[in-house]
Amino acid sequence: MTSLQMPKVHNPTIESKEKIIADISKILNKANILADDVEIRPYETDALTAYRQKPLLVVLPETVDQVSKVLKYCNENKIKIVPRGAGTGLSGGSLPLADCILLSMGKFNKILEVDYDNRCVVAQPCVTNLSITHAVQDKNFYYAPDPSSQIACSIGGNVAENSGGVHSLKYGATTNNLLGIQVVLMDGTIAKFGGKTLDAEGYDFLGLMTGSEGLLGVITEVTVKILKTPENIKAALVGFPSVEDAGNCVSQIIAQGIIPAGMEIMDKALTKATNDFVKAGYPVEAEAMMIVELDGTQSEVSELIKKVETISKKNKCSSIKISNSKEERLKFWAGRKAAFPACGVLAPDYMCMDGSIPRGKLAEVLKEINRLSKKYDLPVANAFHAGDGNLHPLIMFDANDKESLEKTEKFGADILKYCVKVGGALTGEHGVGIEKRELMCEAFNDTDIRQQLNIKIALDPSSLLNPGKVYPILRKCAEEGRVHVHGGKTKFPDIPRF
């Protein structure tokens, strides 16, 4: 087994901080270097609010050349650097370290080109997901992947996490809608992978970079596919007397060869909270609620809606409502998109988990989540991208109560371990970050992780780019400076909890 060498990384002191600022001032305008405690505080956390840590300083480049020079400087001087987009991540992927430079890409926020002939948009990484659809909707085009945070999350972050959304069932996650990227590697090299064509020669570096969570390079430009708006779209809102009935309905819809544009399930707790928040007309008496959206030609959608109604009734649905207008359909989805903020009334805080399972295991996993909820005495509300098996249990807790937070972490870890046990994965779209890092040993053995780390080290030999994310803690062995993967026991050492 090949051993990895523990890199020697420079840990900046207060004295060297001033030198770093002086050096980077030769690359960036001083106004784009934030070092004061108050200035950098907004960057100490992301949407995973259980952890926070202020960086050494924050830099905000405005050009690709500046990004290249900052990375090259950090590489030569062995300074850690953490890239950050909109800061809406839910796995701690952009959390800084106390001795790192945080590279904020917030000024890269422009759409560079809309190319209808090639049906694509070229955008800088901090353009929001929804802005791409807004830029092309007047020509009846749209961008398909639509995370619930699409109004705020950045397209570069979507690539880094391979984000999905409610319409990923039919149209795929980010990787299925991505044509090309420009990326800056740790040594400052500027590279382009892919372009406006549907395929490219050589190794699939575009696929390698997608979902790499900022460990392999910094994305500076993104080219994505846009799709023509379907001729007809309808949504069905279906209530069920049990989550098991809803899960069985999902499996049977797919088994019949029907691929909805989107298919979501929410349990009773989340349905009620969301309906109170948005007034979406949800069946709050149902134990589970399903939204099924179908698109295509008028005749195709009419036929598929009838089939979905029939299958729903066979699975004991307690209610069914079909959208009669675009406004009513969007109202159905407005509730689902607001599900996470709606939980604010249920508890002081919640932790949103993210795991994937085979569709047929939905009822079994829900039963286990309910058992764990009783074990840890913590309420949980559930939302699912049901068609592709992506679960989002929301665990309710109080972040000001240390014991409550610790129980929540254990509860979440047990959910993800069970997802892996039934043949699923640790994440569907939020990424591993630090939240699931110590659980990677549940899904991969030592050899698997070492092979993945070999790719990381090939592109970033000193492990300076977004260090401490995704892969478990490396422990230095006594002999010959070798390292090994620690078996998922150690907390993230540089990030204190709230």
Position 388 scores a pLDDT of: 85
In the chain, CATH 3.30.465.10 covers 111-228
pTM for the model = 0.90
What CATH architecture applies to the domain 232-340? 2-Layer Sandwich (3.30)
In the chain, CATH 3.30.43.10 covers 14-104
Tokens of 222: 């993104």
| Per-residue pLDDT tens digits for 309-367 | 999 999 999 999 999 999 999 999 998 988 888 888 889 999 999 999 998 888 889 88
Nearest to 307 by CA among 258, 359, 262, 247: 258
Position 5 scores a pLDDT of: 38
Write the CA distances from 481 to 7, 85, 471, 474, integer angstroms.
10, 35, 19, 11
Integer Cα distance of 102 and 106 in angstroms: 12
Tokens of 399: 């972040």
Where is pLDDT greater, at 477 or 208?
208
Mean pLDDT for the stretch of residues 244-256? 91
* Structural element, H or E, at residue 113: strand 111-115
pLDDT for residue 431 is more than 80:
yes
Mean pLDDT for the stretch of residues 247-271? 93
Give percent of the chain above pLDDT 90.
Answer: 80
Nearest to 176 by CA among 191, 160, 164, 185: 164
Is 111-228 a domain of CATH 1.10.150.120? no
Position 235 scores a pLDDT of: 97
Is 14-104 a domain of CATH 1.10.10.60? no
Mean pLDDT for the stretch of residues 113-120? 97
Q: Are 63 and 124 in contact (CB under 8 A)?
A: no
Position 12 scores a pLDDT of: 63
| Per-residue pLDDT tens digits for 263-305 | 999 999 999 999 999 999 999 999 999 999 999 999 999 999 9
In the chain, CATH 3.30.70.3450 covers 232-340
- Of the candidate CATH numbers 3.30.70.2740, 3.65.10.10, 3.30.750.80, 3.40.50.620, the domain formed by 347-435 belongs to 3.30.70.2740
Q: How confident is the model at residue 391 (pLDDT cuts 50, 70, 90)?
A: very high
| Per-residue pLDDT tens digits for 207-218 | 999 999 999 999
Residue with tokens 């764990």: 372
In the chain, CATH 3.30.70.2740 covers 347-435
